Amino acid sequence: MATPSKPAKILVVDDDVGLLVLMAETLKSEGFVVDTAGSGTAALAWLGERNADLMLLDLKMRDIGGAALLERLKQKTPPVPFLVVTGQGDEKAAVEMMKQGALDYVMKDTGLLDLLPGVVRRALEMVERDRALSVAEAEGRRMEREMVEVAERERRRIGEDLHDGLGQQLTAIELVCTALKEDAARKVPELAKGLERMGKMLREAISQTRFLSRGLVPISDDPDALRIGLAELTEHIASLGRPRCHLECPAPVILRDRSTAAHLYRIAQEAVNNVLKHAQAEDVTIRLTQVNGVLELLIADNGRGLPTSKSGGLGMEVMKHRASMIGGELTVTSKRGHGVTVACVLPVFR
């Protein structure tokens, strides 16, 4: 898009040579840089080598019609913003072209040359607004990813502190307690019983600390870490006794992007937590597959399903947001009384 120091470049496409020259001269007199193409073929050749800030396109040309030309240009990246120049009686066709992406249209009549500069300026302003919005959205997504990464790093730090600091300290205390129990057993049996209870409580605290640590740091740098993390999550759920939980991973799934693996783990974790809280399920299946460059993470239960008036609440929205951040798509299907299936699908590259 043009800046104040660089005028916009306009490509005018029309097979009426006289009108083509008049439109080009009118726009040049307004300070635009203008190139022309006298046919659809010439326009394709021009656009194959360079870009325009805006294209003015005649709908009816002898070699390639405007609609056919635009169909050919759909493969061009970035797409070329355009507006339509059309004759009397073709208003319906122009409106249809606007549905296909035209910014505006202008009629070939006696007022064409007077109206053209204003129509072009309005179209360029629309293009600039759209581009500024795209830049802002991209920056927002970048900042959001950075914030999530910062949060994940902080979780990792806390998890490592729990494991390496508190966990080890509790283990040391439990060892001291064991040694004291052995001494007390010979001299003060009642004290030994108290120390035995204390040792049991310490072992439970150590187990809980390790579980919290794994929850905060679920994914290591191992390319197979997602499967390992899901296996540990499955083990923990299975240890609760109900629901039954098992992992299916028929073939190795290699993910070298730790951030993507972490988001997928959190999606599975949230889905399983929803099952524990709401589903009243007997069985939960976590399935991880990677086929032809497409990864699918699926969590399915045989519980009571989602209420018809709800889509899953905040937890579902968080999962969908995580999926979108890694370029995936999350779907939730539910049949009342027959459970819920959460599936996240995304392209992956080794």
- Give me the torsion for CA of 223, 227, 233, 235, rounded to 10°: -120
Helix locations, 100-188, DSSP H: 112-161, 168-187
For 128-179, the pLDDT digits (tens) are 888 888 888 878 777 777 776 766 666 666 666 666 666 677 777 777 777 7
Distance of CA 15 to the CA centre of its chain: 44
32 φ, ψ to 5°? -85, 150
Higher pLDDT, 16 or 100: 16
Question: According to the model, what pLDDT value does residue 136 have?
Answer: 83
- Give me the torsion for CA of 8, 12, 17, 21, rounded to 10°: -20
The model's confidence at residue 210, banded by pLDDT at 50, 70 and 90, is low
Q: What Cα–Cα distance (Å) separates residue 55 from each residue in 65, 82, 119, 241?
A: 15, 4, 12, 66
Say whether 340 sits in a helix, a strand or coil. strand
**pLDDT of 4 above 80:** no
Q: What is the rounded CA–CA span in Å between residue 150 and residue 160?
A: 15
For 69-110, the pLDDT digits (tens) are 877 877 777 788 988 888 766 677 777 787 778 888 888 888
For 212-241, the pLDDT digits (tens) are 666 555 566 677 888 888 888 888 888 777
Helix locations, 30-111, DSSP H: 40-49, 66-73, 91-99
For 178-207, the pLDDT digits (tens) are 777 777 777 777 777 777 777 777 777 776
What is the token pair recorded at 331? 């779907």
The model's confidence at residue 3, banded by pLDDT at 50, 70 and 90, is very low
Sign for the CA dihedral angle at 287, 341, 230, 203 comes to negative
Q: Which of 10-24, 100-114, 306-320 has the highest mean pLDDT?
A: 10-24
